Every structure is written in structure tokens, then in C-alpha cells.
Structure 1
Amino acid sequence: MRTQRRGEDALDWRMYRGSGQVQVERYFRASTRLGSSVMFYHLEPGAEEGVHHHLADDPASCSAESADEMYVVTRGEVVITGGPEPIVLRAGDAAYAPHGVPHGVRNASDEPAELVLVYGPPGV
């Protein structure tokens, strides 16, 4: 059994040309054998993860391999961007972006927002 305390693998990151910084906590990055990775995002008002996608062999991709992503909002309200229309998610809501689909997340509210991000190979 391993444990990780909040802040042990955290960084402030300007992601994919988004506005402001996203505080990112990466969980068990160096010690897990799970097929998926789990991260925690803290977004102050106005902060965003810019629109991006994950698709192998695509030079515009933000990663060398294909990956699916799922966002689960745990606090506040965020806007999922990148699709034909923005989608508002609140605490308890989730969004799923299959590999190759453009997506991003923005805190357009006046309060901090937090979410859990799970990403990994398609179909895992």
C-alpha cells in the first residue's frame, strides 16, 4: 500500500497555451503500473487548460501517444472547451474526451474549481 499527501508531487503549470496557471497534482507518477494516470487540478477563476488532443502520429497532438481523458468536477464549476459548443460542468459532473477529440477546461466562474483528471490508452 502506498499513500501520497496533497502537495507531494504538485506544480503550477501553464497548460497548452491556456490562460493562467493550473495547479496540478500528479498521483503515483513514478510508482504505479496502472494503465491510466490520475491527476488533480485546482483552477483559480480565469485559469484554463488550453484546447488540445492526444493522437499518435499527429504532429499537432500534445502527446506522442493516443490517450482518452475523463474530467470529474469535485468543486465549483468549469467549462469544457474545444467542441462545437462550450459545456458547463458542476461538482459531481463529468466529461469524457476520446483520443483525437479536441478538448480543454476553463474556470469561467468567480470561485476556485477542482477536478480529477484520469487519462490513459484508449479502451483501458
Structure 2
Amino acid sequence: MLIQRRDEAHHDWTLYEGEGRVGIEWYFADATALGTQVMLYRLDPGASEGEHRHLAGAEDSCSAESSDELYVVTSGEIVFTADGVDRVLTVGDAAYARAGVTHGVRNDSAASAELVLVFGPAVR
């Protein structure tokens, strides 16, 4: 059994030309055999991930492989953008970006926000 405590794999990164830094806890990045990866994002007011997409072979892709992404807000409020359309998400709301969709999250509120991010190849 593996246990990971909060802050054991913490990073503060600027992602995809976003604003500020995103606090990221990447769960079992080197240990999981699952086809997906799981992260906890923390966005302070004004921080953003930056818009990006995951599509194998696309020149503007931020990754070599195609991946879908699922965002679930666990605290605060974020703005999720997909293909140029903004949607405000609050606690318990989720957004799903299929591979190839340009998307990103940002915090336009006055309080910090956290969300769980799950990403990986689309399989059924």
C-alpha cells in the first residue's frame, strides 16, 4: 500500500504561459500503474493555468500524447475556459476537456481555490 501526504510531492509551477504560479500536488506520479494521473491544484487569486491542449501530432499540443482532462472544484471558485467559452465553477462542479480541446482554468475571485485534476488517455 502507498500513502502520500499533502505537500510530499508539492510543486509551484507556471503552466502554459498562465499568470502567477499554480500550486500542484502530483499524486504517485512515478508509482502509479493507472492509465491516468491525479493532481491537486491550488490557484491563488489571479493565478491561471494558461490555455492549452493535449493532442498527439498537433504542433501546438503541450504533450506528445492525446489526453482527456477532468477538473473537479473542491474549494473556492474558478473559471474554466474551453474553446473560448468561459464557465464559472464552484465547489462540487466539474468540467471535462476531451483531447484536442483548447482549455484552461483561472481564478478571478478574491479567495484561493483548489481543484482535483485527473488526466490520461481516453479509453472505454
Task: Report the Cα offset of residue 59 of structure 1.
Answer: 1.4
In structure 2, the partner of 1:73 is: 73
Partner of residue 64, structure 2: 64
CA distance in 1 between counterparts of 2:61 and 2:85 reads 21
Deviation at 1:84, TM superposition (A): 3.4
CA distance in 1, matches of 2:59, 2:110: 36
Aligned twin of 2:15: 15
The aligned counterpart of 2:111 is 111
RMSD: 0.9
Structure 2 unaligned regions, length at least 5: none
State the shift of 1:98 in Å: 0.3
Cα distance in 2 for residues equivalent to 1:12 and 1:119 = 19
**Which TM-score applies when normalising by structure 1?**
0.97
Q: Shift in Å at residue 85 of structure 1?
A: 2.0
Give the total of aligned pairs. Answer: 124
Render the CA deviation track for 1:67-120: whole Å, top value 9, x for unaligned: 000000000000012423200000000000000000000000000000000000
CA–CA distance in structure 1, aligned partners of residues 116 and 63 of structure 2: 19
Name the SS of the counterpart of 2:70 in structure 1: strand
Q: Percent identity over the alignment?
A: 56
Q: Distance in 2 between matches of 1:84 and 1:45?
A: 21
Letter in 2 for 1:71: Y
Asked if 1:91 is matched to 2:91, the reply is yes
List runs of 5+ in structure 1 lacking aligned partners: none
